Structure formats: C-alpha cells, structure tokens
Amino acid sequence: MRIGFIGLGNMGAPMALNLLRAGHDVRGFDVSGTVPEGIAAGASAADVARGADVVITMLPNGQILRTVAAEVIPAMRPGAVLCDCSTVDVDSARAVAADAAAARLGALDAPVSGGIGGAAAGTLTFMVGGPDDAFETVRPLFELMGQKAVHCGAAGAGQAAKICNNMILGATMIATCEAFALADKLGLDRARMFDVVSTSSGYSWSMNAYCPAPGVGPTSPADNGYKPGFAAELMLKDLRLSQQAAEAVDADTPMGQLATQLYTQFVESEDGRGRDFSAMLPRLAARGRHG
C-alpha cells in the first residue's frame, strides 16, 4: 500500500519503519522536520496524504488531530482511509470521523497499548473504532505494527476502550504501590509480599507484569531507576481523558477521579514528570498517613 504517516515521534517513527520494512511505500511528515532514515519526507501533512491508500496519524492531542485532519481530508482521494492512532478525547475522534465520512473517506480511531517498546518490536495492541470496511483495509497494517487489533465498534469506540483500560491501570497501580508502602511499614518483606499477592486475589497486571518494587518480579522500570516505560505525565493525560468522558456522559468514576488527582499532584507539584508512572511507589513509601 501507499501510506502517509503523520507524527513521527517516539511512537510514530518505529511504527512507520515497521511498515517500510514490510515493503510498503511510506511517506512521512512531522512538524519537527525529523523523518526516520529510509522514509520519504513530505513537504506537509497534506503532501503525504495525496494519493495515499491509508493515512496514519500519531499526534499529541485532540485539538492537533482536528487541525491535521482539516488539512489532510481535502487532500485524500475518495475511498482512502484516515487511521488515527493517537490517544485523544472521544468527541474529537467522532468529529474527525464524521468529517472524513462526509468526504467519502474511511475513518478509524485506533489508539494503542504497548508503549515505545511495543512500537519498536511490532507488538502493540490496537483498539479500533470505525466502519467494518475501513477496519478490513487497515487490518494488514495493524498486523505488521502490532500483535492484536480489536474492532471495538463504531467511531469513538477505540478511544473509549483505551481510556477505560487506562483508568483501571492508573487506579490499580496506585493501589499496588499503596500496598507495598503499607507492607514496608508493617515489616513485611517485599519479595514475600509479591509471592503472596501475585498468586492470590490481589494479582493484577500492575503487580504481576510491571511490579513497581525494584528487584521483585519480572524486570520493570522500577529496576531501571523508574526511567519511563510509560511516563507519569502520559498516565495523567489518559486519566484526564477518562474524566472528561465521564463528565460528558454523567458517569460516576470516584476511583478514576481520585487517581487523576493523585497523578496531577505527582506530575505537576512533585517530581513525577519524566518518571515512570510506577514511581508512585517511592512517593507513597516516603509519606506518612497525612502527607
């Protein structure tokens, strides 16, 4: 396929390279002017969209997505597919999909899980919203960039799945870190705590696959000084999107709300920015009952 790829940062660049290595014709554009070696650089977002079978975007937020979509949709040929892999608000995803449909384009919202490592290794999970035919067009590309693509429903469903998943992740990581901090103060060895919880009813991905305690369980960012696999500020972004969505549909999410407040404090008022989201453990371990 001929692919236009817009947004070639830490996630977009390795995703685009995986498509290039598979033999696709990939043209790229990034506002920074940086395009990975081997990928033909376009002069603008609209330039890489012209003539493309699929245009993939990986952008920071919904407002930027709307701006880029307004530029590329008029440049795309009817029948092509606009596939946004950013994590953005549901309203922006649906607005862009409506504009694309009006221009006789397919449109997918396809946010990812798996981080920078998954992007490089081609092991991402895609959560996809949009029409069946557009999903089938892009499915071979999802299979090159990731290990799984789940068609979640109509426009916006991919974003809904992503923010619901990450609201669970944010809350369970905080609960896991709280439990380790409490175990420390109760004199319970962290390794024994892991051995119990990882095989008992408290097990979770946060505990079993991404343990926030260094030297315990499989290797995780905790074993690398909490250098980010998934940065705390990105967790905060996703939690804020979850609360924006909850507000829009009048959903009661008290745990999601509290997790958002805690990560806001950690990132904006403490030392969380630039650290992994599991660095909530040393933060909590250093605090007493009332701060």
CB 160 within 8 A of CB 167: no
Q: Is 237 a catalytic residue?
A: no
**Catalytic choice (162, 185, 227, 237):** 162
Backbone angles phi, psi at 207, to 5 degrees: -80, -50
Q: Rounded to whole angstroms, how far apart are CA atoms 149 and 156? A: 15
- Taking Cα atoms as reference points, which of 67, 49, 71, 51 lies closest to residue 59? 67
Output b/e per residue, 71-99; b: 16+ Cβ within 10 A: ebbebbeeebbbbbbbbbbbebbbbbbeb
| Token pair belonging to 184 | 């420390």
| Token pair belonging to 17 | 């390279």
Q: Rounded to whole angstroms, how far apart are CA atoms 149 and 110? A: 9
Q: What count of other Cβ atoms lies within 10 Å of the Cβ of residue 66?
A: 17
Q: How far is CA 128 from CA 29, 240, 267, 279, in A?
A: 23, 20, 29, 30
Active site amino acids: 162
